[in-house]
């Protein structure tokens, strides 16, 4: 099987490539001091004339390795493992069409004994691979003190709009995974969860733009997988961390992790806590019919307490089988206070009619706990089976008190008030069972598997009209929405190397059965009585999602690839509930039972030049794309609703390049795209015909100052673009700077950083639809000074076990499978 793995190490971008035979090949064998085969030794082939790393391979169970194709020339090999000394061979010459055999290489322990060695490693800031980009959070100074949503905002190619919706290279419909498992949350619930995750918990963020058939089909723009930290070190060990941020208000976070690992078990756990007050300001200017609404909102979000935890155990049944169990969760309590006036102006005479103060207090709690039972069987170089059973539940509670106080133009005399109290609990239960199997087949690698997933949601919305100390239940404005979704999936995927090409083809089939019903009571003006209503939706459909890729590997220094995939995004349950959710007397949100899934066909051409310059050209056609439209009702009122646009066509170009010279290195990523949105909702100002040529730029600079000191300077720029298919945004940009010092003999790390140094991270934009013209701007507490400390304790050893040899590479593959990445 051919695969391509791009890795930045020490600021230089290398390529791990295994390709089919061409003109020449190199083979050899690695042994230890006792003559035993060394498994997964790192084999690095260097070109002598310029010291360029040509290829990297890993030795198999028998210590054998093969490097191909190889051009004629002079080479040497360097090899070693995490617990054995690195050695280099003598220079040798490879001729055209020659099968060169390297003399046997013997490796010795680093400390001349088998008691264990201390392993230290450095991950690159950003890794660019064939199918994804990886931002290694734990190795980045400027990530300190950020939450999950802030980290995504600063990730290459990712955009976060004014409502915290995610898009990738100009496409919405991003699917967020946590530790390889798709999150059922969306909208506000998802952004709130991401804000509860601290950078100290996060190991890396994977941006997967071209998922194969092995992945779930959801996510037309791709997948963002947030990997949380897990310790793989032998013995008993752990770490503690703490952080302090200050902008307008102080913020705190801290946590610890513990791990005990031996030849038979791995027991692990961690806990993180955060508490913060965050400030946000939003200005809205809206014109509708003969009325102008000029609103200023000041919002304080109190994250009173957020608790994140994970615990589990892996039991190694033998050197092929592992049984694991894990539980993780998030418990958070928040309060949001909103204040500020809305001036209501009669436009023909530009006369201030009255002032609305829609201040409010919103208490929310979000509790989530997930359970996982997993089994893995793997034979190196042979078959591999992964089975996972998962159950998770979310309990979301929302309690909002919203007074709407109207004053005369002087702002002194109160005219009247409309006061509401809204209680909206929601419960989500998730069940899934999946299995993945891979085996060698016809000189390639065949994989197939299936998944059964079931999600049940129960949403109760109760509104009360408040008169003094009395609350009256409003039957017309209350409802209960129940929604279930069952997705059954199966897939097959095949990879093979053919001379100068690598092919990959896959097919995924998913059957979706969804049911929803909104129940409540409505007043009948004819009978004068309340009557029950039931607004139901039932859907059952089966979709086929093919994917394919072809990579041309004849010249390892200049590799080309083409790929195709079809993907889907299904409506979130919140977007299907037809009920109205009031923001104030003039603005509310409602769901749409007619909202259909959106489908994307995507084509890509990629090029990797000299293992450094990576280029991707992509075209996507999206049918029935989701858009959030600000529609009108009752002449002067506005509501937000999601609808299906007819189409979106988008062409994007992404270029990334790393550079390293002595103590300085940088990574840059440039993404540009052209997008065209079209829809007809009745003609005139109810048509959508928007296009944009947009650019995003990301740059990260690193400075190794010596004696344990390092520094970083990073920044991004997003040009004007279109959010959610209808909102024209203006440019956004920001710069961060930080410094780091290693202390306590390498066991401690002290980091200090300033985010948004020049306080430029402000957003603004406008929309014009259905006779409603809006201009919105805002900013949050983006400029902060951040300080953090992390200290490791306990064992830092990776020991050799002669009874069972388990490599970190094996463990990473098992963890990836357990977490569901690539799972179905």
User: Residue 644's closest CA among 691, 688, 582?
Assistant: 688
What residue has token string 């037809």? 578
Average pLDDT over residues 787-797: 81
Q: What 3-state DSSP class applies to 813?
A: helix
Mean pLDDT of the chain: 81
Written as one string, the DSSP assignment of 18-31 is E----S-EEEEEEE
HSE-CB of 171 using CA atoms within 13 angstroms: 32
User: Residue 130's closest CA among 620, 698, 616?
Assistant: 616
Q: What 3-state DSSP class applies to 151?
A: helix
Q: What is the pTM of this model?
A: 0.74
Q: Tell me: the pLDDT tens digits for 675-701?
A: 887 766 655 555 667 788 999 998 989
Instruction: Specify the pairing of strand 25-32 against strand 265-288.
Output: unpaired
Give the burial class of 261: count Cβ atoms within 10 A of its Cβ; 0-12 exposed, 13-18 middle, 19 or more buried. Answer: buried
Lowest-confidence pick of 25-34, 518-527, 616-625, 683-692: 683-692
Q: Tell me: the pLDDT tens digits for 210-238?
A: 787 888 888 777 788 888 776 656 678 88
Average pLDDT over residues 184-198: 72
φ, ψ of residue 149 to 5 degrees: the values are -70, -40
Lowest-confidence pick of 208-212, 357-361, 454-458: 208-212
Lowest-confidence pick of 156-160, 412-416, 674-678, 746-750: 156-160
Whether the pLDDT of residue 581 is over 80: the answer is no
Whether the pLDDT of residue 20 is over 60: the answer is no
Q: Looking at residue 97, what is its pLDDT?
A: 81
Whether the pLDDT of residue 667 is over 80: the answer is yes
Q: Tell me: the pLDDT tens digits for 244-258?
A: 999 999 999 999 989
CB 361 within 8 A of CB 304: no
Whether the pLDDT of residue 509 is over 90: the answer is yes
d(CA 60, CA 30): 9
How far from each other are the two terminal CA atoms of the chain, in whole angstroms?
21
């Amino acid at each position: 099987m051919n695969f391509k793995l791009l890795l930045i190490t020490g600021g230089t971008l290398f390529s791990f490539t295994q390709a089919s035979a061409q003109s020449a090949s190199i083979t050899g064998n690695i042994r230890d001091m006792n003559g035993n085969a060394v498994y997964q030794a790192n084999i690095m082939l260097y070109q002598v004339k310029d010291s360029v790393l040509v290829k990297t391979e890993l030795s198999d169970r028998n210590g054998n390795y093969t490097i191909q194709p190889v051009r004629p020339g002079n080479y040497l090999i360097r090899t070693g493992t995490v617990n054995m000394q690195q050695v280099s061979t003598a220079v040798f010459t490879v001729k055209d069409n020659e099968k060169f055999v390297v003399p046997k290489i013997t490796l010795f322990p680093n400390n001349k004994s088998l008691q264990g060695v201390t392993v230290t490693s450095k991950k690159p800031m950003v890794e660019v691979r064939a199918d994804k980009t990886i931002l290694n959070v734990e190795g980045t100074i400027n990530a300190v003190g950020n939450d999950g949503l802030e980290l995504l905002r600063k990730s290459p190619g990712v955009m976060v709009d004014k409502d915290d919706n995610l898009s990738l290279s100009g496409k919405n419909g991003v699917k967020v995974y946590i530790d390889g498992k798709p999150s059922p949350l969306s909208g506000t619930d998802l952004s709130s969860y991401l804000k509860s995750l601290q950078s100290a918990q996060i190991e890396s963020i994977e941006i997967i733009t071209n998922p194969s058939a092995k992945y779930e089909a959801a996510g037309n723009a791709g997948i963002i997988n947030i990997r949380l930290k897990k310790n793989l070190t032998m013995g008993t060990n752990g770490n503690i961390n703490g952080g302090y941020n200050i902008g307008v208000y102080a913020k705190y976070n801290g946590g610890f992790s513990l791990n005990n690992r031996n030849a038979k078990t791995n027991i692990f756990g961690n806990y993180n806590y955060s508490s913060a007050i965050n400030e946000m300001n939003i200005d809205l200017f809206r014109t509708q019919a003969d009325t102008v609404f000029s609103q200023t909102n000041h919002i304080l979000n109190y994250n009173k307490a957020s608790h994140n935890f994970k615990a589990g155990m892996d039991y190694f049944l033998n050197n092929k089988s592992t049984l694991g169990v894990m539980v993780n969760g998030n418990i958070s309590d928040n309060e949001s206070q909103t204040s500020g006036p809305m001036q209501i102006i009669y436009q023909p005479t530009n006369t201030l009619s009255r002032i609305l103060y829609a201040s409010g207090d919103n208490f929310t709690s979000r509790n989530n706990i997930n359970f996982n039972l997993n089994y893995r069987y793997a034979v190196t170089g042979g078959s591999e089976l992964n089975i996972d059973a998962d159950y998770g539940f979310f309990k979301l509670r929302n309690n909002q008190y919203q007074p709407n106080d109207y004053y005369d133009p002087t702002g002194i005399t109160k005219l009247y008030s409309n006061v509401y109290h809204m209680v909206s609990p929601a419960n989500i239960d998730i069940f899934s069972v999946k299995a993945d199997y891979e085996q060698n087949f016809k000189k390639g690698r065949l994989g197939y598997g299936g998944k059964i997933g079931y999600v049940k949601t129960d949403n109760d919305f109760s509104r009360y009209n408040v008169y003094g100390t009395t609350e009256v239940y409003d039957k017309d404005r209350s409802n209960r929405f129940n929604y279930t979704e069952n997705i059954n999936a199966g897939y097959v995927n095949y990879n093979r190397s053919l001379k100068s090409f690598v092919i990959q083809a896959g097919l995924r089939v998913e059957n979706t059965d969804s049911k929803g019903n909104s129940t409540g009571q409505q007043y009948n003006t004819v009978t004068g009585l309340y009557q029950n209503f039931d607004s139901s939706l039932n859907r059952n459909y089966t979709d086929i999602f093919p994917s394919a890729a072809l990579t041309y590997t004849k010249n390892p220094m200049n590799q080309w690839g083409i790929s195709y995939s079809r993907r889907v995004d299904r409506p979130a349950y919140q977007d299907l509930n037809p009920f109205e959710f009031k923001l104030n007397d003039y603005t509310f949100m409602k769901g749409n039972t007619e909202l259909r899934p959106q489908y994307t066909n995507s084509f890509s051409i990629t090029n990797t030049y000299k293992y450094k310059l990576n280029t991707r050209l992509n075209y996507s056609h999206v049918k029935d794309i989701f858009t959030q439209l600000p529609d009108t009702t009752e002449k002067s009122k506005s509501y937000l609703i999601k609808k299906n646009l007819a189409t979106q066509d988008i062409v994007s170009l992404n270029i990334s390049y790393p550079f390293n010279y002595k103590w300085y290195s940088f990574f840059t990523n440039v993404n540009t795209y052209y997008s065209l949105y079209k829809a007809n909702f009745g003609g005139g100002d109810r048509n959508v015909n928007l296009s944009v040529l947009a650019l995003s730029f990301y740059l990260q600079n690193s400075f190794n100052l010596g004696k344990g000191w390092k520094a970083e300077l990073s920044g991004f720029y997003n040009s004007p673009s279109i959010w959610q298919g209808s909102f024209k945004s203006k440019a956004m940009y920001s710069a961060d700077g930080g410094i780091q010092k290693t202390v306590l003999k390498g066991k401690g790390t002290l980091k200090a950083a300033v985010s948004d140094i020049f306080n430029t991270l402000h957003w603004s934009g406008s929309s014009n639809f259905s006779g409603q013209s809006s201009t919105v701007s805002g900013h949050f507490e983006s400029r902060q000074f951040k300080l953090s400390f992390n200290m490791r304790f306990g064992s830092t050893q990776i020991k050799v076990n002669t009874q069972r040899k388990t490599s970190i590479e094996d463990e990473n593959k098992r963890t990836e499978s357990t977490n569901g990445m690539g799972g179905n």
